[in-house]
Amino acid sequence: MKDNIKGGALTEVTFFILLSLFTPRHGYAIMQFVEEKTAGRLVLGAGSLYGALNTLTDKGWIVPCGDTGGKTKEYIITAEGKKIAEKELKRLESVTATANEIMEGKI
């Protein structure tokens, strides 16, 4: 997972995983969320998802939550993860605004 923290650019998969975890979810629910919210454009396999979850946990952007004694482990975004997601949203809004200006002939 190649995310540029300094520049604020996240991979699209990372951004959608973070967005999915504003509500506690387990792995399969995360996969469903991402596929649904991207209209099937992004489909995560189990291996990719769990590798990403481990990386995001290591970065402190998400944490396991709830009763982890069962078969399914749920995750939730941390305060740091929310800051990262908010920074990415602002970056995307800026990119979109610039692209709209260019395409509308304002620049």
Q: Provide the whole-model pTM.
A: 0.88
Residues 2-31: tens digit of each pLDDT: 665 566 699 999 999 999 999 999 999 999
pLDDT score recorded for residue 66: 80
Q: In this structure, are residues 49 and 27 in contact, taking their beta carbons and an 8 Å threshold?
A: yes
pLDDT score recorded for residue 89: 96
Where residue 75 sits, what CATH number does that domain have? 1.10.10.10
Q: What residues contact 87, with CB distance under 8 A and at least 6 apart?
A: 8
- Residue 2 belongs to some domain of the structure: no
For residue 77, how many other CB atoms are within 10 A of its CB? 23
- Residue 57 belongs to some domain of the structure: yes
- Residue 4 belongs to some domain of the structure: no
- Residue 24 belongs to some domain of the structure: yes
Whole domain around residue 98: which residue ranges? Answer: 12-103
If one counts the domains in the chain, the total is 1
What does pLDDT average to over the chain? 92
Q: 62: which strand partners?
A: 77
Exposed, middle or buried, 27 (CB in 10 Å: 0-12/13-18/19+)? middle
In this prediction, what percent of the chain has a pLDDT beyond 70? 90
- Residue 61 belongs to some domain of the structure: yes
